[in-house]
């Protein structure tokens, strides 16, 4: 049994996952041509029954770390923006010539 299919191929019922773009396609009955330009991986139904709860559990376990990482990224980006703006203002202030009074 084949598990890799190219876009445009005629496929039967099953669940197909696009390796290039992350799309998923479920063919419930009959046959259908795979859309787009991606390469698709056919996932057997028993694999889906096992993988779905495992991926859900992995997501639940990793979600706090994802939240912490995104928070740190936003704080670092805001700090970098403010420091850059402050440096530009400081540079403009010192770049202006001071008037000399004799």
Q: Is residue 50 part of a domain?
A: no
Range of the domain at 67: 56-95
Quick one: CA torsion of 35, 56, 62, 22, rounded to 10 degrees? Answer: 0
pLDDT in tens, 2-18: 889 998 899 988 899 89
Gap between the Cα atoms of 36 and 33, Å rounded: 10
Higher local confidence (pLDDT), 57 or 92: 57
Residue 1 clears pLDDT 80, i.e. is over it:
no
> What tokens appear for 102 in the block?
């004799």
pLDDT in tens, 15-43: 998 998 888 888 888 888 988 888 999 98
Number of independent structural domains in the chain: 2
Co-location of 2 and 39 in the same domain: yes
Q: What is the DSSP code (8-state) at residue 6?
A: E
């Amino acid at each position: 049994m084949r598990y890799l299919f190219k876009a445009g191929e005629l496929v039967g019922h099953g669940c197909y996952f696009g390796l290039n773009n992350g799309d998923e396609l479920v063919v419930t009955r009959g046959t259908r041509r795979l859309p787009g330009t991606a390469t698709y991986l056919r996932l057997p139904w028993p694999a889906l029954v096992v993988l779905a709860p495992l991926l859900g559990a992995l997501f639940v376990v990793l979600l706090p770390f994802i939240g912490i990482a995104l928070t740190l990224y936003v704080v670092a980006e805001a700090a970098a923006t403010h420091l850059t703006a402050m440096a530009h203002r400081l540079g403009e202030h010192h770049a202006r010539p001071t008037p000399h009074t004799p």
